């Protein structure tokens, strides 16, 4: 097995996605979340507002780039202050963070669908097995949902220029007020009309329409075209997918954190 140091990684994979080996600048802002928690939606929203552009599937990497899709060289071309997407657990180099958290039960279902769309698992892959892998943190290198969220909550006071926790469900229910809160946190002034227009543009219905019209966008490469990347923009839809046993497993492992974040518990 080849062991990469930070410098070797950057030299060997110079033109590959840099992931969390990127050079972090003092004025960077990070949009952080566990996968499938609404980060892409927030990138559309904030990209439209901050850069006053109609963000779509072809251009959003130019404005609010993903550290898992861009090289360090590409990220350095982004105008500063950069707003960068990350899924990593707490990193002391991140000086300003918006952390988007979502009900783990919906995250699980959405992540399962994501794996199907991008052919990471076969169509008949058992949901029970996927849940086991999810609980054990074996799907990626971001830790479990619980580990990831707790790492940021426990270290929020160490973040130099501020930490803002946003619940996906609150962003859905009170989009305007939450977006205004985020803009205040970032120090941007926008009119009511500009905020309303950005919300309309980044609506799930429009994102799905854009997805249909931009199926050849790089992000959809090698994916199952008949499966959507953009969900319907609801919460609690896990109820249509998870049985009582599934629910018991997820809630027993994550109960304390779910309660702390004001999510309802359905099992004893």
- H helices present in 145-218, as ranges: 145-155, 168-173, 175-186, 192-201, 204-213
Q: Using one digit for the tens of pLDDT, what is the confidence trace for 178-213?
A: 999 999 999 999 999 999 999 999 999 999 999 999
Identify the weakest region by mean pLDDT among 13-22, 181-190, 234-243, 252-261: 13-22
Identify the domain containing residue 211 by its residue range: 6-260
Residue 9 CB neighbours (<10 A): 15
The CATH number of the domain where 239 resides is what?
A: 3.40.50.300
Q: Please indicate, yes or no, if residue 268 is contained in any of the structural domains.
A: no
pLDDT digits (tens, 9 = 90+) for 115-158: 999 999 999 999 999 999 999 999 999 999 999 999 999 999 99
The CA distance from 195 to 12, in Å, is 43
> CA–CA separation, 75 vs 62, rounded Å?
9
How far from chain centre, in Å, is Cα 186?
18
**Short-list 65, 56, 107, CA closest to 86:** 65
- 3-state SS of 64-103 is CCECCCCCHHHHHCCCCCCEEEECCCCCCCCCCEEEEECC
For residues 36 and 116, what is the distance between their CA atoms, to the nearest angstrom? Answer: 13
Mean per-residue pLDDT, 210-238: 93
Residue of 144, 142, 109 lying closest to 36 (CA atoms): 109
Question: What proportion of the chain, given as a percentage, has pLDDT over 90?
Answer: 92
Residue 266 lies in a domain: no
| The pair of three-digit structure tokens given for residue 166, joined into one six-digit string | 């946003």
Is residue 265 one of the residues assigned to a domain? no
Residue 215 lies in a domain: yes
- Residue entry with tokens 């901050």: 50
Q: Give the three-state DSSP class for 31.
A: strand
pLDDT band at 13 (very low <50, low <70, confident <90, very high): low
Q: φ and ψ at 100, to 5 degrees?
A: -100, 120
Categorize the per-residue pLDDT at 3 as very low, low, confident or very high, splitting at 50, 70 and 90: very low
> Phi then psi for 103, rounded to 5 degrees?
-50, 125
Separation between Cα atoms, residue 267 and residue 135, nearest integer Å: 17
Q: Could you tell me the pTM of the whole model?
A: 0.94
State how many domains the chain has. Answer: 1
Hey, is 149 helix, strand or coil? helix
């Amino acid at each position: 097995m080849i062991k990469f140091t930070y410098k070797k990684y950057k030299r060997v994979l110079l033109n590959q996605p840099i992931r969390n080996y990127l050079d972090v600048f003092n004025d960077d802002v990070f949009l952080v979340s566990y996968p499938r928690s609404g980060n892409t939606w927030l990138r559309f929203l904030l990209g439209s507002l901050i850069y006053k552009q109609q963000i779509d599937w072809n251009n959003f990497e130019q404005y609010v780039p993903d550290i898992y899709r861009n090289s360090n060289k590409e990220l350095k071309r982004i105008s500063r202050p950069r707003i960068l997407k990350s899924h990593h657990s707490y990193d002391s180099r991140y000086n300003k963070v918006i952390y988007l958290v979502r009900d783990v039960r919906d995250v699980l279902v959405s992540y399962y669908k994501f794996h199907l769309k991008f052919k990471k698992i076969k169509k008949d892959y058992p949901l029970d097995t996927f849940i086991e892998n999810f609980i054990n943190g074996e799907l990626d290198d971001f830790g479990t949902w619980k580990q990831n969220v707790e790492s940021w909550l426990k270290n929020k006071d160490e973040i130099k220029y501020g930490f803002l926790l946003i619940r996906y469900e609150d962003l859905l229910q009170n989009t305007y007020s939450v977006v205004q809160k985020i803009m205040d946190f970032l120090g941007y002034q926008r009119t009511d009309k500009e905020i309303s227009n950005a919300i309309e543009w980044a609506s799930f219905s429009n994102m799905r329409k854009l997805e249909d019209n931009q199926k050849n966008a790089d992000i959809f490469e090698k994916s199952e075209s008949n499966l959507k990347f953009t969900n319907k923009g609801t919460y609690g839809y896990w109820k249509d997918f998870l049985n009582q046993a599934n629910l018991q497993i997820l809630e027993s492992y994550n109960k304390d954190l779910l309660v702390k974040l004001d999510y309802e518990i359905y099992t004893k």
